[in-house]
Amino acid sequence: MAERGKNTGGKGRQKPVIVPDMGRLQPQARELEEAVLGALMLEKDAYSIVSEILKPESFYEKAHEKIYAAIVDLAISQRPVDMLTVTEQLKKRGELEEVGGPFYISQLTSKVASSAHIEYHARIIAQKYLARELISFTAMIQGKAFDESIDVEDLMQEAEGKLFEISQRNVKKDVTQINPVIKEAMVMLEKAANQKEGLSGLRTGFEGLDKMTSGWQNSDLIIIAARPAMGKTAFVLSMAKNMAVNHNTPVALFSLEMSNVQLVNRLIVNVCEIPGEKIKSGRLENYEWEQLDFKIKELYDAPIYVDDTPSLSVFELRTKARRLVREHGIKIIIIDYLQLMNASGMSFGSREQEVSTISRSLKGLAKELNIPIIALSQLNRGVEARQGVEGKRPQLADLRESGAIEQDADMVCFIHRPEYYKIYTSADGSDLRGMAEIIIAKHRNGAVGDVRLRFIGQYTRFQNPEDDMVIPPPTEGGGATFGSRMNAPIGSTATPPPPSAADFPPQTDNPFGGVGSDGPLPF
């Protein structure tokens, strides 16, 4: 008992032993790294198998990273890769002793018999590298999340950017043999042949445009550009309405410029044919209320999904687009407009580089989701500086902030309203009042050319010229044109009066009980 008391009392008392946490090793595969390097020095064609899978930094061991970098140097200069040439190259780089000398190089070749499983081993090494990258990334984000001086929203955007970079570096697509691709192309061809219009893509509702483009094609990036006040938003809203209401095509619209309420108001003006100022003020005539109630039914349950997140990053767009396609079966995405987007979380030397990254990411997203993406874009002031009728037509060089937009896009369209520049007659003598030209300046998979549409400024709407009667130009003997201030010549303050009710006999089949067959004329 005394002995027991001695062991447990005073300074001689034994404390319970706590086994410390041994910690964690970073993901690594040292043996596989040695096997891959040995195989590369044994087989002359082995490098071509792993060149797209591995980079020098993929190796965990610093010595292995330097040896692989030497092998890459030899392969690029088309010199043979073996134990002797690698040793010589490392000697030139001044790194031979750092990696363990010629003895270690010779050891690597003795640890493997052939390159039979080199691709499988290389993929495991690449996965370990990716796991290390993710660990480093999450540790960095965790450290910054504890820093109260850093804005959480900025941190989230940075995290999205870094994760996007990691995923882009490691996304590889295998080569496909041509047979299944031919079958897919034939299916698309048969589908287009079975449609009476012969369209293989999505209809816009604008017949001339559909005929020239065969509809918007899947995986295409389409840029629609114009100077301010030309009607970019009006055009895509008219198109979205046509696609969603007339053809039941689900459309996603990312509006960085206008709120969703403003967009819906524009749609109401477009569909219900009621002037925008009346919609804003709410001062509608009785027949206009009836017209609104009757026509707004078209918009209910229309598959149009609006997101009005300001200063949207391309990474947020990517996440939201994937979800929209998965949950709502979105067939087309419209972005209004490209220059208001950002690529937060990534560092750039200039705004041009950032816009270039955005346009490249949009093209990549269109390919990934296999749907057309339409991005609106502003033009620079080059149009305003040029003189003459042809000088006012937009050109590819007028695209603002980056030449990469023109390069990445499958199609570039310009909206041009000659009337805005006081050009009322075309070269062929046709009247241009109330007309807009859609100029297809670049078309990777088809023809370029011009398509004319009617622009009704009063209702901020584009439509086919044949969908409405054309009012002849005024003559010296009288006549009148109808329009809004938006369509009036520059400098004009007067707005022509609408037609009076006395000019139109009442009709019994009018669902609004008002004048004419559809209320006042839309001009």
In this predicted model, what pLDDT tens digit does every residue of 503-521 receive, in sequence order? 445 544 444 444 444 444 4
pLDDT digits (tens, 9 = 90+) for 362-400: 888 888 888 899 888 888 777 777 777 777 778 787 776
Written as six digits, the tokens of 6 are 């001695």
pLDDT digits (tens, 9 = 90+) for 69-102: 888 888 887 788 888 888 888 888 888 888 888 8
List, in order of start, the domains of the chain with CATH numbers: 30-150 (1.10.860.10), 200-482 (3.40.50.300)
Alpha carbon 364 to its chain's center: 7
Q: Judge whether residue 295 has pLDDT over 70.
A: yes
pLDDT at 411: 87
65 catalytic per annotation: no
10 Å CB burial of residue 41 (0-12, 13-18, 19+) is: buried
Catalytic residue among 88, 165, 207, 257: 257
Average pLDDT, rounded, for the chain: 76
Higher pLDDT, 447 or 14: 447
Residue 391: other Cβ atoms inside 10 A: 13
Please give the average per-residue pLDDT across 211-233, as a whole number: 84
Across 393-426, b (16+ Cβ under 10 Å) vs e yields bbeeebbbbbebbbebbbbbbbbbbbbbbebeee
pLDDT digits (tens, 9 = 90+) for 269-290: 777 777 777 777 777 777 778 7
Contact 26, 132 (CB under 8 A): yes
- Give the CA radius of gyration of the chain: 33
